[in-house]
Structure 1
C-alpha cells in the first residue's frame, strides 16, 4: 500500500469546527478545536497532514489534545481536500508549501505555536522551521510524526513511481481502485469520504509531493542546529520510513523520542489516546512561556 494517511472514523468533537482561514498566501480549510476548558489554555498547535491526507486525519486526537488545554488547528495544505488551490497562482514546490504553513501560523495570532507534521507533512513542517531559522516568535516546538530523515523506503519509492506513471495516463477516478483501503472494518461512510478526498486532491500536488518524497535529502544536521524543542513520534510497524531510521534521526536531533508500538504509520489514528497524551506531555514540558490569546 502507498504511504497514505489512514482514517477509521469521521467523529468530530463538539468543540471542533471546520472553517476557512484567510491568510496572506490564500484561503485554507482548517479544523479549529478550542480547549475543552478555555480557562486552562496552555498553547496552540498547528497540525500538517501527510500525503493524500487531510485535516480529518487528526480527528481521533483532537479531544485528547483539547482536554490537555490546547487549541488545535489541523489544516488542508495547498492542493489537499477542501483547500483546493488556495490562490490564483498555485505552486506546489516544497518551499511554497512551507511558506503556506508559516502564513497559517502567523494568521492564528496566537504567539509561538507547536508545529506537528505527519509523514509528508513532516517534510513540509521541517522546511517551514528551516526556512524561518526556527523563529521563536512563530514556533514553540516541532514534532515529526512517522517521518524519516530522507527519501521513503525502497518499496514505497517503487509504489510512488507507479503512481506517477498512473497520473500521466489515468484520471484520479481510474486510479482510485488501486489505492483504496480494502480493509473490511472500515465503515462505508469513511470509505466514501476517502474516495471524495482523493478526487478533490489536485493532481499537480500529488505529482509534486511524490517527487519530493522520492528526492528528499537528509537535512537532520541542519535541523539539529536550530534551537527549538523537538520531538519525534515513531509509530510501528511502518514500511514508509523504517522505525530504526526514525529513531536514529531523533537521536541526531537531540529530540524527545515517542515510541508507539502498534501505532503503525498513523499512530494518531490507531493509538489516538496514547498519541494525544504523549504530545500534551511534550508540549507541557517544552519550557516555552505561552502568552494567553487576547479575547
Structure 2
C-alpha cells in the first residue's frame, strides 16, 4: 500500500496471517532478521506506522499530509490503531495474530480494545507494561530525543550516530542492517516527539496488563533479561492477564529481533502454533 501505512507481505498467501508492528521511531524493517523463520509458517503483514519508514506523515485529519500540517492528535495511540484497522480492512484481513515490539504493543492493545475479534493472539516483545517500569534513557538517546538539544542533534544525525543509538538499547553486539538505519533517518523529529508523548500519555492513563486483562485474548510477553529501557522484572506484571505466557531471553536487551532473531522467532512460533492447535 502507498497510502498512510506502508505494508510489506512475506510468506505463503494462504498461510495463517501474522501482523508485525514495530516500536517508536523504528519500521517494519526491524523484523527482517526474523522473516525467513516466520514466513515458513505465516503470511506476514509488516507495517510502517504513520510517519515511520516509508509511511506518510499523518495530518490532523488522520490522512496523509506534508508534515507542515501534522497534528499531535494524529499520533495518539487510539488514532494509530484506527489507521491500522483501516489498513487491515483494506487488504481483507479480518482475523490475525499480532506480534509487536516495544510501544507497538500499545497500538495493538488499543486495536484489540477498539476492534474486538480482530486479533486472535498477541505477542508483546519488550513492551513496557507501566510507566513505573521505565528505566533512565541511555545518554545518547537523551541527546537525540530530548529538547533543547534533541531537535538540533536529530537534524545532524549520521548513520554512525543512529547505529550508536540502536546499540545503546541492546545487550548483545549487533550490526543494524543498512535499511534499518535508512528508515530511522527518514522520521522527522517532530513526528517522533509526538509519538513518544502520545505513548507516555496512553501508558500513564492505564497500564497494558490492566487494559488486556478483561479482553480474554491469548497473550505472550517476551523480554530480554538485560533490557536497558524497561526493568526486565516488569515482564512479570503481565501475569495479571489470565493465562499469559511469559518468556525471557538471557543476555538480550531491548531489541530481540536484532539481537536474538532465531531464539525470538522460536518463542513466537511456539506460541502461535499452540494457539492454532488449541
Q: How high is the TM-score relative to the length of structure 2?
A: 0.80
Where 2:216 maps in the other structure, the secondary structure is coil
Give the 3 Å change call, closer, same or farther, for CA 50–70 of structure 1 in structure 2. Answer: same
Structure 2 equivalent of residue 54 of structure 1: 27
> Residues of 2 paired with 1:172 and 1:53: CA distance?
15
* Residues 126-156 of structure 1: per-residue CA shift (max 9 Å, x gap): 1221222xx22x1111111101212262412
CA shift for structure 1 position 46: 0.7
Matched-pair contact (CA < 8 Å) for 1:50–1:119:
yes
- What are the ranges of 5 or more consecutive residues in structure 1 without an aligned counterpart? 1-20, 290-295
Q: Determine whether 1:88 maps to 2:57.
A: no
Aligned pairs, number: 254
> Residues of 2 paired with 1:49 and 1:110: CA distance?
19
Matched-pair contact (CA < 8 Å) for 2:4–2:64:
no
CA shift for structure 1 position 257: 1.2
Q: Determine whether 1:150 maps to 2:139.
A: no
Give the 3 Å change call, closer, same or farther, for CA 258–29 of structure 1 in structure 2. Answer: same
Structure 2 equivalent of residue 196 of structure 1: 182
1:97 aligns with one of 80, 87, 95: 80
Matched-pair contact (CA < 8 Å) for 2:129–2:238:
no
Alignment of 1:4-153 (within 5 A): 21=1, 26-35=3-12, 41-67=14-40, 69-85=41-57, 87-88=63-64, 91-132=74-115, 135-136=116-117, 138-151=118-131, 153=134
Q: Determine whether 1:181 maps to 2:169.
A: no
* Residues 80-105 of structure 1: per-residue CA shift (max 9 Å, x gap): 01112263355112221111222222
Q: Determine whether 1:223 maps to 2:212.
A: yes
> Residues of 2 paired with 1:174 and 1:155: CA distance?
24
CA shift for structure 1 position 57: 0.4
Where 2:268 maps in the other structure, the secondary structure is helix
Matched-pair contact (CA < 8 Å) for 2:123–2:222:
yes
Give the 3 Å change call, closer, same or farther, for CA 106–262 of structure 1 in structure 2. Answer: farther
Where 2:25 maps in the other structure, the secondary structure is coil
> Residues of 1 paired with 2:261 and 2:268: CA distance?
10
CA shift for structure 1 position 179: 4.5
Matched-pair contact (CA < 8 Å) for 1:85–1:202:
no
Give the 3 Å change call, closer, same or farther, for CA 288–157 of structure 1 in structure 2. Answer: farther
Matched-pair contact (CA < 8 Å) for 1:84–1:202:
no
Give the 3 Å change call, closer, same or farther, for CA 176–122 of structure 1 in structure 2. Answer: farther
CA shift for structure 1 position 196: 3.0
- What are the ranges of 5 or more consecutive residues in structure 2 without an aligned counterpart? 168-172
Where 2:23 maps in the other structure, the secondary structure is coil
